Amino acid sequence: MPLLRRHTDWLMRRISPAHRLERKHEAELSFWRDSLQQLDQWFNHGAVGKTGIRPPDAHQKLNVSKSWITNAVMTRHAMCPSYTERLRIERNVFHGQRVLEIGCGPLAPILQFEGCFRHCIDPLVNVYMAAGWPLFDYDAKFINTGGETLPYPDAYFDSVISVNALDHVDDFEQTASEIQRVLRSGGKAYFEVEYHKATVTEPVELEELRVRQAFRECELKIVVDRTGREMYDAMVKKFDLLPFNFQHFHGRFSAWHATRI
């Protein structure tokens, strides 16, 4: 990007919420278009890519759909159920429950969990589908909306999950309020947040006190707090990953378990 364009973009992001939102969505769409190409190389051509997940052999490839993308997504989740490590929960923890994922992205990691009724929200659902991700083929219900306005009645969900998404929202406190509203009494929220300086795609700067104040209607517990490097090492060890391009060594990640009072 030329210097003058970069300066104009920086200025517009400071003074125009609409421009900030547009730039955030552009960056996210570019990331997920690239990710779809990487998924193709990993599943169909045996490339490791940037995730470190070893390419599947013929016996590991799942065949649950006519879409190779769906088969690749489900194979990836089976080989590397990353949310079990990042949220410190088991794959069957939601058995029989109605569960919501905030900021699912086109991979929808909620698919890693067994025996539950899955709902996913993301403000880019329609864009993901336009880019080629077959969300309609997944065993989950998707709604194109942000976390600030959840189209569900009060106390609708047994559990809510979110990983690396609450720093992407436009209004963190409003999103936290909505999560607590749609959780039943005694329901659980499991989420991971990263503490970092604001970026185009991650405009929310979080710290522990802000999280606690936003989720004041819940009993809260931090189950793991670690650097990006420590999380990288844990993922490599648990899922037998090859060294991969993990770029957030400088950040800090906390996984929280919350119980709706």
The predicted-structure confidence for 52-80, as pLDDT tens digits, reads as follows 999 999 999 999 999 999 999 999 999 99
Residue-wise pLDDT tens digits, 102-122: 999 999 999 999 999 999 999
| Dihedral Cα 136, 138, 139, 140, nearest 10 deg | -60
Mean of the per-residue pLDDT values of the chain? 91
Q: Tokens representing 4? A: 């003058």
In angstroms, the CA 60 to CA 120 distance is: 26
Q: How confident is the model at residue 203 (pLDDT cuts 50, 70, 90)?
A: confident
Where do the structural domains in the chain lie, given as residue ranges?
3-260
In angstroms, the CA 237 to CA 239 distance is: 6
Percent pLDDT > 90 in the chain is 74
* Sheet with strand 157-163: strands edge to edge: 141-144, 117-122, 98-102, 157-163, 183-195, 252-260, 218-227
Contacts for 100 with CB less than 8 Å, ≥ 6 apart: 119, 120, 121, 150, 152, 157, 159, 160, 161, 182
Q: Check residue 22 and give its pLDDT.
A: 80
Contacts for 86 with CB less than 8 Å, ≥ 6 apart: 163, 192, 231, 253, 255
Which neighbouring-strand residues pair with 256? 191, 222
Residue-wise pLDDT tens digits, 3-39: 555 556 555 555 677 777 787 778 878 888 999 999 9
Helix (H) and strand (E) counts for the chain? 8, 7
Beta strands in the chain (DSSP E): 98-102, 117-122, 141-144, 157-163, 183-195, 218-227, 252-260
Q: How confident is the model at residue 136 (pLDDT cuts 50, 70, 90)?
A: very high
Q: Check residue 14 and give its pLDDT.
A: 58
In angstroms, the CA 16 to CA 150 distance is: 25
Quick one: average pLDDT of 115-131? 94
248 pLDDT more than 60:
no
- The CATH number of 3-260 is 3.40.50.150
Percent pLDDT > 70 in the chain is 91
Indicate the SS3 state at residue 21: helix
Q: Check residue 18 and give its pLDDT.
A: 76
